[in-house]
Amino acid sequence: MHSEFLDVPDGKLAAVVTHLQMFERPAARPVPPVAAVLTEHPTPDLGWYRDLFSRVGSDWMWFSRQGMPDADLAAILHDEKTRVFAVEVEGRAEGLLELDFRTPGECELGYFGLTSAMVGTGAGRWLMEQALDLAWAQPITRLHVHTCTLDSPQALPFYIRSGFTAYRRQVEIADDPRKIGVLPADASPQEPII
């Protein structure tokens, strides 16, 4: 058996990324009652989106959209083949679902997550069932997603329980967003800054 340790330069983060996919809608799973509604935002305001993105993902080092120039982010979010939804509770957005249909015949589950206030309420399973219904209502033959070791440790097993199968693993090395000002220094405290 052989293992190898590779140095990660100061100011960088390394994560193992797992890619998952499915080729048909799995059987629906029962979901608990959830006091939330799913609302589509066809051309979301970028400030609103970044706020929700941050509230859902800053504990898990979601940073890719935070440092993106407005024009680049708008090009993705305002594309008619990208669908953005918010999980709303009493009028406040508490979860994010982003489905990307820009590749013909496919859908990428681009972003999927809940604020800490919603974790443990059953809303994740409810949201996944909504996502599966919305994705497979379109003429696709493949739904895919990726997650990484910076994300919640619950994410990967949740995707597998939801019917996805892992098919590829990669190592991603990126600038630590806390060191370059994209995220606050106290984001993701479980990941030490080096």
Nearest to 16 by CA among 24, 6, 25: 6
**Number of residues assigned to the chain:** 194
pLDDT score at 122: 86
pLDDT score at 130: 96
Q: Helix H segments across 18-90?
A: 46-57, 70-77
What is the overall mean pLDDT for the chain? Answer: 94
pLDDT score at 129: 96
pLDDT score at 137: 97
Nearest to 40 by CA among 1, 92, 2, 96: 96
Q: Measured on CA atoms in the order 129, 131, 134, 136, is the torsion positive or negative?
A: negative
pLDDT score at 121: 84
Tokens 């970044």 map to which residue? 50
pLDDT score at 53: 95
Instruction: Tell me the β-bridge partners of 108.
Output: 100, 144
Nearest to 167 by CA among 149, 150, 147, 153: 147
Q: Exposed/middle/buried for 168, CB within 10 Å: 0-12, 13-18, 19+?
A: exposed
Quick: pLDDT tens for 95-138: 999 999 999 999 999 999 999 888 888 899 999 999 999 999 99
Q: What is the largest CA-CA distance in the chain?
A: 55
pLDDT score at 1: 85
Instruction: Give every residue of the chain whose pLDDT is below 50, as ranges.
Output: none
Nearest to 150 by CA among 67, 21, 52, 59: 59
